[in-house]
Amino acid sequence: MIDSYSCLRRIHPCRLGKKLLALTLGVATALAAHAQPTATTHAEGTKAKLQLTLLEAKKLALQQSPTMAQAKARIDAAAARAAEAKSSYWPTLDVSFGITRNHDRATRPQRDYDENTKYGLGLSANWLLFDGFQRRFSLLIAEFDHAAALSASTDAQRLLLQAVSSAFYSAILAQDSMGIAKEDAEFNRMLHADARKRQEGGIATASEVLNFQLQVANAEVDYIAAERAWRAAIIILGELLAITQDDIWEYIQLTPPDEKLIRQPVQLADLLDYARQHRPDLAIAQNRINAAQTGIKAARSTWSPKLRLFADYGYERVDSLHFNENYDRNVSFGLAASWNLFQGFKTTALLNQAEAELAAAIEAKKELELAIETTVRRNFLALDTCRHQLALQENILATAKQIRDLVHQEYLGGATTITRLNEAQTDVTISAAARSQAYIQVFHSLELLGASTGRILLLETEE
C-alpha cells in the first residue's frame, strides 16, 4: 500500500483515488457504548443533515450497531451459565405424586390376579456436600467464559471502530478528490473563457478553445467518479452506523480530521507494551488458558468420592387417596457417600483432552502475540513512511502550482505552447491528488496503529 505512492505522478488522479478507496473500503467491508454522539443537525431546504466527526461516528456506531447488540447478548448468556454453575451449591427440593396399578398373579392360582392401586405423595430434599471440588471448577470455567465474553465484546468494539475509521477516511478521500476535480474544472473553465475572448480578437485558434473545453469535460468526469466513490463510502459508513436512510450520502456530512494529529508523537516501545496489556483478544486467549487449566483440575476431581445429605417425607396408601397421618406417613433422612472405582477409563480420557486443550491454548496465545507485534511494527513503519511522503507531496504540490502559474503567464505572452500549459495543469492535479492521499493515509495509519494496539478504544482521548 505504501510502495504504490512511488509512482503517483505517473497515475491519473481518478484511477489513483480508486486504488486507495478500494484498499480502505476492503478493511471496512471485511468487518462488520452508550455514549451519545455530539453531532449536530441543521436544515438545508427540506433536508436535515447529520454532521459527524470521526469521534462522533465511532460513538454512534457503538450505540446503534447490531454487532454490539449481539456481543451484549453473548455476555448475558455467559453470565447466565455462570449463575447456572453457581446453583449447584444449593440444595434441591422436589415434590412428587404417583399412582401405581398392580396386576400380579405370582402368588395366586391361574386366572386369579392380585390387583390394587397404590397412591403416593412426597417431598424430598438433597444437598450435595462434597464432590471433589467439581462444582468449584465448573463455576471457575463458567466465570472464565464470562470474562472471555466481556473481552470478546471489547474486541468487537475494536474491530467495529477500525471499520468505521476506514470507511470515514475513504469518504474523506473521495470528498477531497471531488474538490480537486472541481478546482481543475474551474481553472480550465477560466482558460476556456479567456481563449474564446482571444479567439474573438483573432489571437487564439479554435483548437485552443476546444482544448480547454475538453479539459473541462475531463475534469467533470473525474468529479463524477469521485462522487461515486464518495457515495459508496457513505453507504458502507451508514451500514456500520446502522443508518439506512434513502440517499444517505445527502444526509451525512463529514468533518475533516484535525491536522494536529499528523504531528502526534508515537513511540514503538510504548505501543508494543500497551498492546500486550490491553489487546482484548489477548485477554480472551488468557481466559482460554485459565479455563483449560481449570478443566484439568475438574477432570482429576472425578476420582474423588461424593457426599450427599438427603431427606424424604411422604405418604403412601393402597386403593385410597385419604392418607392417614399415623399409618401412611414415611419419613427418612441420612447421609450418603459414593465413590466410583471404575468407569472405563473415562476420567483418564477427560484428563488427556483437557491437557491437549491447554497446550493448544498456550500455543494459540503465543501465535497471537507474535501476530500483534508484527502488526504494530508494520503499522508504525507505515505511519512513519506516510508522514515523510506527506511532507514531500506538500512541497511537490506547491512547486507544481508555482510552475503552472509561470507557464500560464508564458502561454498568455506567447512564450510557450498550449501543450505545455496542459502538462503543467495535469501536474498540479496529479500532485494535489497525491498530497490528498498521503494526507488521508497518515490519519488512516494512526487509526490502524490504534486498532492494532487497542488504543482506538480510548475514545475520550481523540477529542
- pLDDT at site 335: 87
Question: Any idea where the domains of the chain sit in the sequence?
Answer: 3-64+131-303+344-462
Q: How far is Cα 32 from Cα 145, in angstroms, rounded to an integer?
A: 23
Tens digit of pLDDT for each residue in 421-459?
999 999 999 999 999 999 999 999 999 999 999 999 987
CATH number of 3-64+131-303+344-462: 1.20.1600.10
- pLDDT at site 223: 95
User: Is 24:169 a contact under the CB 8 Å cutoff?
Assistant: yes
- pLDDT at site 10: 34
- pLDDT at site 345: 84
Q: Which helix (H) or strand (E) holds 315?
A: strand 306-318
**C-alpha of 116 from chain center:** 68
Q: How far is Cα 122 from Cα 112, in angstroms, rounded to an integer?
A: 32
- pLDDT at site 185: 94
In single-letter form, the type of residue at position 340 comes to N
- pLDDT at site 460: 58
- pLDDT at site 284: 92
For the chain, list residues with pLDDT below 50. Answer: 1-46, 463
- pLDDT at site 111: 58
In single-letter form, the type of residue at position 198 comes to R
Q: What is the pTM of this model?
A: 0.76
Burial tier of 275 (Cβ tally within 10 Å: 0-12, 13-18, 19+):
buried
- pLDDT at site 48: 58
